[in-house]
Structure 1
Amino acid sequence: MKKHVSVLAALAAVSLTLTACSGSGSDSEAVEAADLDAETQSLVDEAQDAGPVTLYSMVDEAVLREVAADFESAYGITVEPVRLVSADLAQRFSSEASTGSSPADLIMLTDSPFYDEALEEGWISSFAEAELPDSLAGDFPEDLYTHDGSTPMVSFVPTETVYNTDLVESAPTSWEDYADPAYAGKLQIAEVDSSPANVAFWSLMRNEFGDELLEGIAANNPTVSGGAVPGTQAVAAGEGALGHPGVLPVIKNLQESGAPVEVASMSPTTGPEVGLGLAENSPNPAGAKLLAAYLMSEEGNLRFNESASQISPFDAEGMDRFTRTADIEMSDAAELKSLMGMN
């Protein structure tokens, strides 16, 4: 089995860990949003008096800037995003919250045991106890409140495939294409156990297509990439025709630079779920609740997920092809690796 970790890929991976802290770029005066019910207007007034809202998130910075601009346009409240990858974000927030002095008002990161710890330690408060405007968050699906109703999952990140358009005549249409002998020696696949989401994905594939798919991939002698980012980079460089998983922000950047890469969306799929947390000692608790409610409203949620190229709970077609991790019969990671020839 071949191993590949390119210098460019490593640099790209490092770049994803950098923090990006910025406001909306303007200090707008407080304004009264139009056509709001009394409950929402009261929360808006309180949030405006408290100042900006600080959002900690793992989402791409460009997406956060769009969210900030939309929110300020609607409510006259500035959002100051702080962007980190999930692991670094959880570590930073945990360190700050344990001292009781975190500047964060609202956090947005992929679902993990972090939420249980944060709730137990009192770093975040439960949404089950939060009073959000019903006009905004009232239609949010009840089954998407996890951790005993404490944490709403507002976005679903589908696992996709990336392919090199110079090396693939037509877009893949099924995950079974990975086992097509035509792609022997042309696959870039991240380690099966490189993330919990990856283990969940290959478990889903095994459940759906059987061991034959995984054994077919092994027969194609895939290159095991150093991770999703270097694998995507390798496909862009022509070192593979198909890659798994594709990283959408990286793919978009590569496309802008003229790289011959594209994404194929196939069914079924799974991936990380993105949740919200209300900081317990928020400098602007009203702003945190208002921003959370906006992100949980159908309009705000659809706009956010469209910008992020992720699946909204209000997107019936997208949710139909997405299988939540809790609904997957999980396989042992070592067994999956063995079937795929990665031991």
Structure 2
Amino acid sequence: MPETARVALAHDYLLVLRGAERTFAAIADEWPQAPIHTLLWDPAVCGPRLAGHPVVVSRLNRTGARQSWFRWLLPAFPLAASAMPLPADADVAIISSSAFAHGMPSAPGTATLCYCHTPFRYAWFEGERALASVPAPARPALAATLAAVRRWDVRAAARVDRYVANGRITQERIARIYGREAPIVHPPVEVERFAPGTPEGHVLVVCELVRHKRVDVTLEAARRAGVPVRVVGTGADEPRLRALHGDHATFLGRVDDAQLAREYASAAALVMANVEEFGIAAVEAQAAGRPVVAADAGGARETVRDGETGVLVPPDDVDALAEALRETDLHRFDAARIAAHARRFSATAFRRRMREEVEALARAGGDAPR
């Protein structure tokens, strides 16, 4: 791709700095002056990390939506994305999406690449969980909204020239839902932020505290195993989790990067009960030399070497997870070997692979119907 090529960037919403947002930030680092389009934007949180990029927001940003309640805008997101055209003079648009950004229209001469974290989970494969999260009288309206989102999503996907998946499970979903092939580029992990320390006797959870993360499985398994657990993260499920497990789990809320590095280094292991598309936390823990006890599915199969950098257990099996925590000598793992494995997922490797994908698309000139 010529150095003079004009690149535009897009992401669903930029309200927090977690895995998907950090992945997008690594893409933005590779094209440091490119404009960013996003539906919602919190400059206090994301502005410092994306400094130097002009940011264009949708009309929905006028609502002042923040991470704690932006999901209530769900019915408006497809229309807002469709009404937010990417720059007409862009040669290439790089879209990072797990929901709506891939529906932002581009000009006929713009080649579009979507780095897909997953097709929108609540529309396609976690609809029952979404419906269970609202009062019964609201469920018919939400079901109708999700059906409309699915129809819109398929139309939006057809206009994308090239998809790139963050792992095998997302690759399979893209093929099944959109009928498209997608190469895999694993997300970037800022492995240099982490270093091995002195592990203690507790295990660690690092994630957003929402039901699909299955934190309750981890906390119940840790209780049965008699292992203390520390929890980093906040979310809608936090009050329930505190009420059920506050006697044996320590909830730390959100922590800064320095404290997070210390939490990883001092834990006996990270526990990841959810089936993740990739699972950046699992790689961060390994960069700190700590093993991962994870569900044997999804991204963990790509990032954790069973018996060498962690332990894989059947998904949603509290007894198996409790047994692994109780019976495994988590201190026997070689910290240096685990950290070396994690370096395969560095931000440098990610940026190189993304540039290769973008350059391949630019040479092809786009290959999807518009």
TM-score interval (norm. to shorter):
0.3 to 0.5
TM-score in terms of structure 2 length? 0.35
